Amino acid sequence: MTVFARLEAFARRPAAGATIAVWAAAEAIVLPVVPDVGLGLLVLAAPRLAGRLFLAVVAGALVGTVLLAILATAAPDSARAMLIRIPGIDAATLAEADAKLAGEGIAGFAQFGPGAPLKVYTEAWVRRGGDITGLLVGTVLNRLARIGPAILVAAVLGWRLGSWIRKRERLILLAYSAFWLAVYVVLYSA
């Protein structure tokens, strides 16, 4: 069985949604690697399941966001110190998210492309005294804006080029891995 056939088979199992949800929850709290890494590959292999897998990411992000909000409410300084220790997050990242939320409110959560991670917006929202409804709406907006477009592209590529991708899976896997490696090298070396 090829790698993409195995990925497709896994994507069909409930364990795939659970794995993506747990990954999204962990990333919303402390994990420095976005769930897009695994999600994109699963969607390329099983594009018809993109919606279900994306919902798992959103559900996981909501759980992780609530857990971080509880920590940030109970121990704000500890939550901020924890975030600062995560690669790619520094005081400037925290200030950037705070300024964005100050200027745009809930809409500030919605970002396209690179920027402050969701966990930084969560901490800033709580520090600013934001309510839970706004935090949950902001989380959904963030996942729609940040992950939604990439998953849509992966699903379209999987539908339109599925057989081409499967015939060249080693090349695709190498390119996919190189892309994410480059993203994290740039992100963490800045």
Rounded to an integer, the average pLDDT of 72-100 is 95
For the chain, the helix, strand and coil percentages under 3-state DSSP, each to the nearest 5: 85, 0, 15
pLDDT at 190: 64
Task: Tell me, yes or no, if the pTM score tops 0.75.
Answer: yes
Whether the predicted pLDDT of 103 surpasses 80 = yes
pLDDT at 188: 80
139 is in which domain, residue-wise?
Answer: 3-189
Does the CA dihedral 155-160-163-166 come out positive or negative?
A: negative
Q: Work out the mean pLDDT of the chain and round it to a whole number.
A: 94
- As for how many domains the chain has, the answer is 1
- The DSSP line for 21-42 is HHHHHHHHHT-SS-THHHHHHH
Q: What is the pLDDT of residues 36-83, one digit of tens each?
A: 999 999 999 999 999 999 999 999 999 999 999 999 999 999 999 999
CA distances from 17 to 24, 55, 74, 85 (A): 10, 8, 30, 29
DSSP 8-state class, residue 31: -
pLDDT at 2: 92
